[in-house]
Each structure stands twice: as structure tokens, then as C-alpha cells.
Amino acid sequence: MELNSAKKGVGLIYIGEILSICAIILAAVSSVIIVISATNGGATNITEGGMAGIGLVAILGLAAVVLAFIFQVVGISRASKEEPEFKKAMAFLIGGLVVAFVAGFFGNNEMAKDITGVLSNFCNLMVTIYIIQGCGFLAKRVGDEHVEKLASSTVKLITALYVVSILLGVVLAFISAKEMVVIAGIIAIVIAVVSVIAYILFLKVLSQTKNML
């Protein structure tokens, strides 16, 4: 079965995710440069020695973010020609952009920021889920049970993490006992670790789907 558009699309989405990781790494490097420069001589030292490095890293990071988004949009668009689930991913991607645009009109309104933040996170979640489900459906069409099962289990894990994260946020909002805060903090760390694992599985789904097609 020829699914060339889907293969190219998934490949572009995969490249976009790699670029997103590069952007995160560059942001971390920029922060480290700032900390080191400040430690060695404060703000004056940052201006004289570290500012050029910070500026370069920031430009590279911004370029990585823009390219990652372009690759993601083009990839989802191409893959959607042969698998409807990617069309749903595109709808939520556009929805996330609309939410981000609307959020800019609320300024420093904390409640509005919280609401738009939740909506933005939900849109990002649904984009990820529909991309993975799209990969799973493509695997089913070509008869690759391994990738199909991997996609299914990854969707379940990511959904469970999202639900637990919401519940943890609600718990933290209402508890004050130090013991409970410590427990919630430990749970948050566990969620962070599992989230990294889930993201690795997401990349694995994309990679194996690309190689499968």
C-alpha cells in the first residue's frame, strides 16, 4: 500500500519535534550562560562578555521554534491527505493558535491567563493524541501490529498523565499541610519523569511509523 504523503508528513512532524527539543536545549544553554556570567561578575559581566553568546543562542532557539512549527504544520497537512485523524490534529493546532491570539488581549488578567493556559494545554494534548492515533491507524492499514499497539499504549499513557496532572493541580490548590505538599511534590516529580518517557514513546511512534510506511 502506497502512503507516500503520510510517510513524508510523519517524517516532517518527527523533524519538527526534534527541532522543538533543540529549542528547549538552547533555552537551557542560554539560562546557563546567564547564570555563569552573573556569577563571574554580575550584570556588567553579562553585558561585556556573555551578551553576544546569549543573543546568538536566543536567535538559534527562536529559529528552531519557528522551523519546528512550520515542519509540524506542513507535516500534519501532508499526512491528513491519507489519514483523517491528522485533520483533527490540524483543527486543534489552529485552535491553539486562536487561544494564544485571544490570550494576548487579556493583558495581566490572572483568571483569563489561567483559562487560556488550560485551553492551550488541552489543544496541545489533542494535537499529540490525534497525531499518535493517526500513526496507529496507518499502522493498522499496512498490517504493522507492533506500531499499532505502541501508538495505542502511548495515547493511553499520555491521557492518563494529563488527567493525573489536573487532579494534582486541584489537590495542591486546596491543601496546606506540609506533609501533603511534600507528597504532592513527589507525585509531581514522578509525573515529570513519566512525561519524559511518554514523549520519548511519542518520538518512537513517529520514527517507527515513518520507517514502516
Of 20, 31, 68, the residue nearest 53 (C-alpha): 31
Of 73, 211, 197, 206, the residue nearest 135 (C-alpha): 206
pLDDT in the model for residue 89: 97
pLDDT in the model for residue 177: 65
pLDDT in the model for residue 165: 83
Torsion angle defined by CA atoms of residues 7, 12, 15 and 16, in that order, rounded to the nearest 10 degrees: -140
**In angstroms, how far apart are the furthest CA atoms of the chain?**
62
**DSSP per-residue codes, 131-145:** HHHHHHHHHHHHT-H
Q: How far apart are the C-alpha atoms of 24 and 68, rounded to whole Å?
A: 11
Query: Can you give the pLDDT of all 213 residues of the chain as single tens digits?
Result: 678 899 999 999 999 999 999 999 988 887 777 776 666 555 545 555 556 667 788 888 899 999 999 999 999 999 999 999 999 999 999 999 999 888 888 777 778 887 888 899 899 999 999 999 999 999 999 999 999 999 999 999 999 988 888 887 777 767 666 667 777 777 778 878 888 888 999 999 999 999 998
**DSSP per-residue codes, 185-208:** HHHHHHHHHHHHHHHHHHHHHHHH
Cα distances (angstroms) measured from residue 144 to each of 54, 84, 150, 153, 175: 46, 19, 10, 15, 47
pLDDT in the model for residue 153: 95
Residue 14, C-alpha cell as written in the block? 518527527
CB 136 within 8 A of CB 152: yes
Q: How far apart are the C-alpha atoms of 35 and 28, rounded to whole Å?
A: 11
Residue 112, C-alpha cell as written in the block? 483569563
pLDDT in the model for residue 66: 94
What is the distance, to the nearest Å, from the Cα of residue 25 to the centroid of all Cα atoms in its chain? Answer: 14
pLDDT in the model for residue 51: 67
